[in-house]
Structure 1
Amino acid sequence: MLHLYIIRHGETEWNTEKRMQGRLDSDLTEKGRNAALLLGERLKDTVFDRIISSPSQRTMDTAQLVRGKRPISFETDERLMEIALGDWQGKTEDEIKALFPSQYDLYWNHPTLYENPEGERFIDVMERVASFLEELVNTTPSGNVLVVTHGVVLKTLYLLCRNAPIDQLWDPPFMHGTSLTIVKLHEGRKELVLEGCMAHCR
């Protein structure tokens, strides 16, 4: 039986500015770094067989903080990267809404219909997440694996666990920075054990 401890990266400077990051990056805030340290303390007694991060700097920084002094290296996997957003990347939500009003509406209100000529659809993200999970179960069928990734990746993972349609992408819970989700993978089933938990920051 495999348990995935999946976290979203800590809060970044662009998060505070409501600026879309996608494949671009910005530094963790002090709040984001502190939350990652608190999560590391919360998980200090959990033994991880692997730590796998998106190759984005904000996720790798978060992974290092959560890992703490554990004598284990971490790997990166491009399938864990945030949704590619093309020309949206680096712009604030208000700027995107003004420049791409119909696309912006579809992104938030009709995600099945959302398309970005310079980026990815949500189904593209879901397919690479499914590929990651399938390979992970084959290579690491049991134990605990820490995965550090991004908000949209987590949201598509929830859909896969629930066998739900993309139109339910934005259903609760909200993915706060360093939120912890635990998924149990066993005999082809994906069970959400913990969803978007922020108990370490209370």
Structure 2
Amino acid sequence: MLKVYFTRHGETEWNAEKRIQGRLDSRLTARGERDAYLLGERLKDIEFDRIISSPSGRAMQTANALKRNRPLGIEADEELMEIYLGNWQGKTENEIKEQYPEEFYLYYHRPELFQNPEGESFFEVKKRAESFLNRLEQETSSGNILVVTHGVFLKAAYLICRNAPIEQIWRPPYLHGTGLTIVEINNRKTKLLLEGCIEHCE
């Protein structure tokens, strides 16, 4: 049996500005760094067999804070990257709403219909998440793995665990920076043990 400790990266400068990052990047804020430290304290006694992170700077910065003194390298895995949103990236939510009102509405209210000609659909992100989870169990069938990724990727992973459709991708909980999600994987069956917990931040 495999236990995967998923977390979203800490709060970034662009998160605080409500600016869409996607595959672009910004550094963690002071709050993001603090929350990553506090999550590290929460996880300090857990023996991890692997630490895997999205290669995005904000995720790697978070992963390094969580690694502490563990004698493990951080594995960068592109399947963990955030949804690619093309020309939305770098714009604020208000700017996107003004320039792409129909697409913006579909993104949040009809995700199964959302299409971005220069980016990914939610279906494509879910396919990436399925591929990652299947590969993870093939590579490491038991133990504990720490995974640092992004909000939409985690939401897609939730759908897989719940056997739920894309229409439910925005179902609660909201995934705050460094929120902890624990997934048990056994014989290709996934079970959510903890969802987006931020007790360490409070």
How many Å separate the matches in 2 of 1:47 and 1:186? 19
How many Å separate the matches in 1 of 2:55 and 2:201? 25
- Deviation of 1:125 (Å): 0.5
What residue is the counterpart of 1:153 in the other structure? 153
The one-letter amino acid paired with 2:17 is: E
What residue is the counterpart of 2:80 in the other structure? 80
SS of match in other structure, 2:27: coil
2:134–2:188 Cα contact (<8 Å) kept: no
SS of match in other structure, 2:103: helix
Question: What is the TM-score with the length of structure 1 in the denominator?
Answer: 0.99
- Deviation of 1:141 (Å): 0.3
Question: Where does structure 1 differ by over 4 angstroms across 4 or more consecutive aligned residues?
Answer: none
How many Å separate the matches in 2 of 1:141 and 1:187? 9
Say yes or no: does 1:136 pair with 2:132. no
SS of match in other structure, 1:5: strand
- State the percentage of identical aligned residues: 60
- What aligned pairs does 1:98-137 form with structure 2 within 5 A after superposition? 98-137=98-137
2:5–2:180 Cα contact (<8 Å) kept: yes
1:3-30 deviation line (CA, Å, top 9, x unaligned): 0000000000000000000000001000
How many Å separate the matches in 1 of 2:81 and 2:131? 13
- Deviation of 1:99 (Å): 0.2
SS of match in other structure, 1:112: helix
The two structures, once aligned, show a CA RMSD in angstroms of 0.5
How many Å separate the matches in 2 of 1:31 and 1:38? 10
How many Å separate the matches in 2 of 1:61 and 1:188? 30
What residue is the counterpart of 1:173 in the other structure? 173
1:53-98 deviation line (CA, Å, top 9, x unaligned): 0000000000000111111111011000000000100000000000
SS of match in other structure, 2:112: coil
- Deviation of 1:188 (Å): 2.1
How many Å separate the matches in 2 of 1:131 and 1:188? 11
What residue is the counterpart of 2:163 in the other structure? 163
The one-letter amino acid paired with 1:160 is: I
How many Å separate the matches in 2 of 1:8 and 1:152? 9
The one-letter amino acid paired with 1:116 is: N
Segments of structure 2 that go 5 or more residues without pairing to the other structure are none
SS of match in other structure, 1:118: coil
What residue is the counterpart of 1:40 in the other structure? 40
How many Å separate the matches in 1 of 2:68 and 2:50? 14
What residue is the counterpart of 2:94 in the other structure? 94
How many Å separate the matches in 2 of 1:177 and 1:194? 15
